Amino acid sequence: MKNPFDPTLADIEERTPEPPVVPSRLDPHWLRQRFSQPPAWSPEFSDEQSLSDTDQALVAASVLVPLVARADELRLLLTQRTAHLNDHAGQISFPGGRVDPEDEDAIATALRETEEEIGLHRRHVEVIGVLPEYVTGTGFRVTPVVALVHPPFELTADEFEVAEIFEVPMSFLMDGANHQRRSAVLPSRPGRRSFYAMPFGDYFIWGATAAMLRNLYHFLRA
């Protein structure tokens, strides 16, 4: 059996660090206004989006990008997936999953999946907008739903899917100096591929999660 791909060992590409999102834009009131009146901007295309099999129908999915309104600053709520899952095992991800036929829209999917995965009740969640769909190399068409999460709230992880729940300051994630561009030859994929990573302490945020955060970064800086 081949060893699984370890993204932490991928080569770091040299690049000029991009500036951070100014602190005044990491404010709930400003974010509400930005999503209600979005500017002209261009999403960033990633190598992963070219890896999806175009002959295979994409699976519709939705994730919640939960921005927790803490007293000191906004923090992003993330999960680490359990190691035995078929898709994205062990990776850092947003809560979310596949669209069910009963779901009214992408927002309904994100809220339902979040409640199922981490026990966050939707009464604490204020949806403020969505980001462009993101296509993963594993065949998912993901809608990122951005929301403010208002404490206090309680969380209960689904032990089958979620190994850990944690928060990362948005001031860290929205600073281009913390965005690493890495490249590697991926298993079962031709050629060298590039991806973003945002290492934070013991957590290695990369792949689709980092790519969607990059688009949030561009959207807030536009």
136 vs 170, more confident = 170
Q: Tokens at residue 100, please? A: 């069910």
Whether residue 43 lies inside any domain: the answer is no
Whether residue 149 lies inside any domain: the answer is yes
200 vs 188, more confident = 200
Whether residue 190 lies inside any domain: the answer is no
CATH number, domain containing residue 161: 3.90.79.10
Amino acid, res. 31: L
Whether residue 41 lies inside any domain: the answer is no
Whether residue 71 lies inside any domain: the answer is yes
Alpha carbon of residue 60 to chain centroid: 16
Whether residue 16 lies inside any domain: the answer is no
**Residues 65, 145: contact at Cβ < 8 Å?**
yes
**Residues 201, 178: contact at Cβ < 8 Å?**
no
Domain span holding position 212? 48-185+195-221
Report the pLDDT averaged over residues 48-75: 84
Whether residue 21 lies inside any domain: the answer is no
Whether residue 151 lies inside any domain: the answer is yes
Per-residue model confidence (pLDDT) at position 5: 80
pTM over 0.95: no
Per-residue model confidence (pLDDT) at position 54: 53
Structurally, the chain folds into a number of domains equal to 1
